[in-house]
Chains A and B, each alone.
Chain A
């Protein structure tokens, strides 16, 4: 039984294929969902650039939070990304979170002019990138940012802008090293249920890795929100609510993000599944 006690977030996982993606985001916003998220595969000719899409969606929505799910670090240099994310957070009134991954598909990355890294190198690059991003967001000091890393060099960069709210860095992680990194450096964990090796049965062990990572860095496991994508789900609203409540109360999942690119599903998620799940979880938590 693990519950990190976070408030619950509900959202959609949208294919970034152009204007339809904007329409789906507007639906999610109007329906009252908490999150709209976009995968990031710029080497896919049918997809638009996810960052450009996010900035455009931010302009066309009013209250929903927006994140990449997850952004491809090798094609998003941390200094550029930090400034872009903070800027969009300011422009959108604090609605941006930073879903980030170490980057899959090295051929695709190379085709877009990115650096070809091994999986191990990608993880090291991500662990360099996160402190750079946090440094650039921190305007409490005026000291310039210097970072002489193996993968990233930042020389005398000016800090800022300061985000409008504390942007969460949510990491897409599956393997032990990435899970440990998520615990050490992340604010959230953002995997997909469909890619967990044993489905929900993988969660206790994976959560434990994150918890260990957090503790090794002197942090509390509850500092890391656990979210989960679902590419497809069967069942009516009541069944989904029960399944989500179970994941929330027993596995500490506090973000439920649904794929499918379906306007109606987004409305049902907001109007029926989310309130029912919240009710079940609150009832249990108040015991």
Chain B
């Protein structure tokens, strides 16, 4: 029990200044209690008391009334910004968590609501969150401790967080647990002749690229350096070098995980092969990855392009982009981004990479892309892969501050047809989509057979992503369904679309393994393969 005194809100109502003086004299924690439900509002009184006194800690009689959990969190956070930590720790604790039972190895690093570090750890890049507890293991043994704690809290959501960048990935939640491996972020060259690199799940791709740059190597990741290794390397990784070297998971040579029962295992082509197969596309269902070993590729200078086009005829631009992308050499990857048309015109951002340091080659590769619309702005530079990843902002202890829930839809597009282009124009005209992206696939992605990894969608021309501001986007999005085959699970916030994420044979195989390795379904937050479901 915290030391302190209990004061009735009625006393504050009768004599506010006398009440504040009494609280100040008492010191320690002042527990406000209410004997009259028509009396002073506890939260307002608590904040006023914090402003009227120095250093008094305040306990509240119950949950603060607010429009939503988010508004309640915002109130707590605001008081902390204005007055420092002034609320009794227990106030912000969430139900159903054994705070006193946090394993000793994790107690120092664990972050609960009310902790000054909480504000920087509760939300992710795209999603507002208010977990009840964030565990921050630094070692394999601590990950096992965290999982033992999590298995005692199966009634609560469990999020796994590496970089906190995930769109579908539930690396935060409301009132549940988060295992945050952000501190496990070593990047280490294991074997220089073989270009073998060992990377912690909490490193960002920006950090990885910076280390490898000194060796003239790179591991192709996604399109943003702020993304964490763990989330991407267990899902796929469709980036600027995938057409040349394959997906990020295709560079993976071994992975170490802690399974649901706390066992630490290594999976590679030589051991635990079935798990190695599963981690490469469905990793979030099987364990907490603690280290990845990749084979990096030799990469020197690259051409990096950002083009802005204006298109009076988006349908035509899309068709032409499809043709150019389809015939582009493997060294060239260009992503397409647009939003709703304005005054009959679309602004299209093309951004991508040519794996060549020769300016003439870079210009030659990009010219056909640049002519798919009216070129309004262009920036093309010869640079390093690490500099492209390095454009991502560093995220310090301040953390991410996403809010709300993102609404994202993903699909694989086997072929960009004129009919698809026409339907995209309609989709954008609906006003429901503010972000529409095509990621250029093909090339080396398709060199790996569909059944070689749990990421089975090897042959589409593009990965398509649309973001809207509400679920209302589906009416327009679903009209495109006949063009698609499957979805990329990292980019779709409907995490119950397992049958779109995985073809039937893949899903059946994953389920068999899930029954073996996680029969209690501890890892269930992101495209969960439920072990209970019968085929």
- Interface: A177 (CB within 8 A): no
Instruction: Name B83's closest neighbour in chain A (CB-CB).
Output: A56
Q: How many pairs of residues, A versus B, come closer than 8 Å at their CB atoms?
A: 126
Q: How distant is A185 from chain B, measured CB to nearest CB, in Å?
A: 21
Contact B401 A87 (CB under 8 A): no
A114 at the interface (CB under 8 A from B): yes
State whether the Cβ of B107 lies closer than 8 Å to any Cβ in chain A.
no
Task: Verify B48–A55 contact, CB threshold 8 A.
Answer: yes
Which residues on A sit within 8 Å (CB–CB) of B69? 113
Which residue of B44, B77, B83, B403 is within 8 Å of A112 (Cβ)?
Answer: B403
Which residues on B sit within 8 Å (CB–CB) of A252?
Answer: none
Q: Does A158 contact B (CB under 8 A)?
A: yes
Which residues in B have their C-beta under 8 angstroms from that of A111? 70, 128, 403-405
What A residues does B66 contact at CB under 8 A? Answer: 80
Q: A112 to B404, Cβ gap below 8 A? A: yes
Check A112/B71 contact, CB under 8 A, given A45-B401, A87-B41: yes
- Rounded to whole angstroms, the CA-CA distance of A43 and B74 in the bound complex is 9
Task: For the complex, give the distance between the alpha carbons of A84 and B77 in Å.
Answer: 18
Given contacts A18-B81, A42-B74, A80-B65, contact A55 B37 (CB under 8 A): no
B467 to chain A, nearest CB (A): 12
User: Do residues A53 and B38 form an inter-chain contact, with CB atoms below 8 A?
Assistant: no
Of all chain A residues, the one with the shortest Cβ separation from B10 is A161
Per the bound structure, the CA–CA distance linking A167 and B95 in Å amounts to 37
Question: Which of B39, B71, B75 contacts A161, CB < 8 Å?
Answer: B39
B156: chain A residues at CB < 8 Å are none
Chain A residues closer than 8 Å to B52, beta-carbon distance: 59
Judged by a CB distance under 8 angstroms, whether A110 is at the interface is yes
Kindly state the separation between the CA atoms of A84 and B405 in the bound complex, as whole angstroms: 29
- Contacting pair A160 B39 (CB below 8 A): yes
Chain B residues with Cβ below 8 Å from A58 are 48, 51
Cα distance A48–B81 when bound, in Å? 8
| B71: contacting residue among A75, A87, A158, CB under 8 A | A75
A22-B82, A52-B82, A112-B403 known; A91+B16 contact, CB < 8 A: yes
State whether A75 touches B67 (Cβ < 8 A).
yes
Question: With the chains together, A45 CA to B52 CA distance in Å?
Answer: 26
A57 within 8 A of B: yes
**Residues 34-83 of B contacting A (Cβ, < 8 Å):** 37-41, 43-45, 47-52, 65-71, 74-75, 77-79, 81-83
Bound CA span A76–B68, Å: 9
| A90 within 8 Å of B (CB atoms) | yes
Which residue, A59, A88, A91, A139, has most C-beta atoms of chain B within 10 A? A91
Q: Is B12 an interface residue (CB 8 A)?
A: yes
Assess whether A262 is interfacial by the CB under 8 Å rule: no
Residues of A within 8 Å of B78, CB to CB, are: 48-49, 52-53
Query: Digit string of A53-70 for contact with B (CB within 8 Å is 1, else 0)?
Result: 101111110000000000
- Is B378 an interface residue, CB under 8 A from the partner? no
Residue in contact with A56 in the complex, picked from B39, B41, B50, B128, CB distance below 8 Å: B50
- What separation, in Å, do the CA atoms of A52 and B77 have in the docked complex? 10
Interface size on A, residues (CB 8 A): 43
Q: How far is the CA of A113 from the CA of B404 in the complex (A)?
A: 7
One of A19, A22, A74, A116 near B67 (C-beta < 8 A): A74
Task: Determine whether the beta carbon of B48 is less than 8 Å from that of A91.
Answer: yes
**For residues 375 through 407 of chain B, which have their beta carbon under 8 Å from a beta carbon of chain A?**
401, 403-405
**Is the C-beta of A159 less than 8 angstroms from some C-beta in chain B?**
yes
Across the interface, do B45 and A87 meet the contact criterion of CB distance under 8 Å? yes
Q: CB of B13 within 8 A of chain A?
A: yes
For residue A107, CB closer than 8 A to chain B, the reply is yes
Q: How far is the CA of A22 from the CA of B50 in the complex (A)?
A: 13
Chain B residue nearest to A112 (CB atoms) is: B70
* Residues A84 and B74 in contact in the complex (CB < 8 Å), given A18-B81, A59-B52, A114-B68: no
Instruction: Report chain B residues within 8 Å CB of A113.
Output: 67-71
Task: Select B40's contact among A43, A51, A52, A91, beta carbons within 8 Å.
Answer: A91
Q: Which residues from chain B contact A87 at a C-beta distance below 8 Å?
A: 13, 40-41, 44-45
A75 to B73, CA, bound (A): 13
B430 at the binding interface (Cβ < 8 Å)? no
Distance to closest chain B CB from A19 (angstroms)? 6
Closest residue on chain B to residue A109 by CB atoms: B67
Residues in B whose Cβ lies below 8 Å from that of A55 = 43-44, 47-48, 51
A160 to chain B: which residues have CB within 8 Å? Answer: 38-39
Determine the residue in chain A with the shortest Cβ distance to B9.
A87
A30 interface hit (Cβ, 8 Å): no
CB contacts (< 8 Å) of A76 on chain B: these are: 67
- Could you give, for residues 1-22 of chain A, a 1 whenever the CB lies within 8 Å of some chain B CB and a 0 otherwise? 0000000000000000011001
Given A59-B48, A161-B39, check contact A49 B83 (CB 8 Å): no
Interface check B469, CB cutoff 8 A: yes
Interface pair B81/A19, CB less than 8 Å apart: yes
Within the assembled complex, what's the spacing in Å between the Cα atoms of A113 and B403? Answer: 10
Asked whether B470 is an interface residue with its Cβ less than 8 Å from the other chain, the reply is: yes
Q: Which A93-148 residues sit within 8 Å CB-CB of chain B?
A: 93, 107, 110-114, 116, 139
CB distance from A106 to the nearest CB of B (A): 9
Q: B119-131 CB contact bits vs A (8 Å, 1 = yes)?
A: 0000000001000
Interface residues of A (CB under 8 A from B): 18-19, 22, 42-43, 45, 48-49, 51-53, 55-60, 74-77, 80, 83-84, 86-88, 90-93, 107, 110-114, 116, 139, 158-161
Beyond known contacts A83-B41, A112-B70, A113-B69: 8 more, CB 8 A cutoff: A42-B71, A48-B81, A77-B65, A80-B65, A84-B43, A112-B74, A113-B70, A114-B67
